[in-house]
């Protein structure tokens, strides 16, 4: 079996589980390729690993059966950007915090490796959002698993986002920004701004305003077949665009089209991994907080 691994720094408490993972992979003679940034962190932390194969750019990935993300949900989003159109299955080990996407605990790494080797898992295909523009916004990585966001810069006042749905005018949002979220991203930034939670395979996007000036403006669920065109006006003549963990400041002449990507993210889920269980656990649903 050939796998790739990407990760970030993690708490010292996770060290024995990470070391055990490399010991288990070596025992099973699994061929491993590490991202350069993760390899650097492991070396600096003094964590031994046996792999000499490294990739720095997505095109340098070898042909892994799957890719492992070690961190939180943010690390998994980065990992999906490394995979892109290859659609290599990805699994997240949660050595971060909340973990709606990275759901494998460090204590279960050995069980995870055995399940992967014996094909005891399922593939969960998730919609990606894609952004088209008149400039290269994100170094060719114009897709995201969670959301595309427009926000004002730190020094600017409220912005205006003129929004069109399939070229029909929808609304002018006077707000701090606007989020276009996938069902996967519905438990992220959109949720904190009052957006609904969608089941992962809902064929929809959520258009969620951020701190709108008009209180009668609410999040809107639209079909994911829709093409969303955005025109932004700002007193500072610029604004911030973000696609998952990637962001940059652009001027108001930037043209933006948001639509569903032509490929998907393929997440590996263990057989006992349920979205509803994760939802209840992370949001404390069904618990009486008074007791």
Q: Are 38 and 56 in contact (CB under 8 A)?
A: no
The sheet carrying 147-151 orders its strands as 220-223, 204-210, 177-181, 147-151, 238-243, 246-251
Q: Are 238 and 249 in contact (CB under 8 A)?
A: yes
Out of 73, 147, 176, 244, which one is annotated catalytic? Answer: 73
Q: Are 66 and 3 in contact (CB under 8 A)?
A: yes
Residue 136 annotated among the catalytic residues of the structure = no
Using alpha carbons, select from 94, 228, 114 the residue that is nearest to residue 173.
Answer: 228
CA angle 264, 269, 270 (to 5 degrees): 165
Q: Catalytic positions, please?
A: 73
């Amino acid at each position: 079996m050939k796998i790739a691994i990407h990760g970030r720094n993690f708490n010292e408490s996770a060290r024995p589980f990470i070391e055990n993972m490399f010991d288990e992979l070596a025992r099973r003679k699994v061929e491993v390729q590490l991202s350069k940034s993760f390899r650097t962190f492991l070396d600096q932390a003094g964590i031994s690993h046996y792999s000499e194969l490294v990739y720095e750019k997505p095109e340098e990935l070898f042909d892994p059966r799957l890719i492992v993300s070690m961190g939180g949900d943010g690390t998994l989003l980065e990992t999906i950007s490394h995979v892109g159109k290859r659609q290599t299955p990805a699994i997240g080990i949660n050595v971060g915090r909340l973990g709606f996407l990275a759901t494998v605990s460090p204590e279960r790494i050995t069980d995870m490796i055995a399940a992967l080797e014996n094909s005891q898992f399922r593939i969960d295909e998730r919609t990606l959002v894609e952004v088209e523009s008149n400039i290269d916004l994100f170094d060719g990585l114009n897709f995201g698993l969670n959301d595309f966001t427009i926000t004002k810069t730190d020094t600017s006042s409220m912005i205006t986002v003129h929004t069109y749905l399939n070229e029909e005018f929808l609304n002018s949002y006077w707000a701090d920004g606007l989020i276009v979220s996938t069902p996967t991203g519905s438990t992220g930034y959109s949720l904190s701004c009052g957006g609904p939670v969608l089941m992962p395979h809902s064929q929809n996007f959520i258009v969620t305003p951020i701190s709108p000036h008009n209180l009668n403006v609410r999040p809107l669920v639209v079909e994911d077949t829709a093409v969303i065109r955005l025109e932004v006006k700002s007193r500072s003549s610029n604004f911030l665009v973000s696609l998952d963990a990637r962001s940059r400041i652009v001027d108001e002449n930037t043209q933006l089209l948001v639509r569903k990507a032509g490929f998907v993210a393929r997440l590996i889920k263990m057989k006992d991994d349920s979205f509803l269980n994760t939802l209840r656990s992370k949001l404390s649903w069904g618990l009486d907080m008074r007791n």
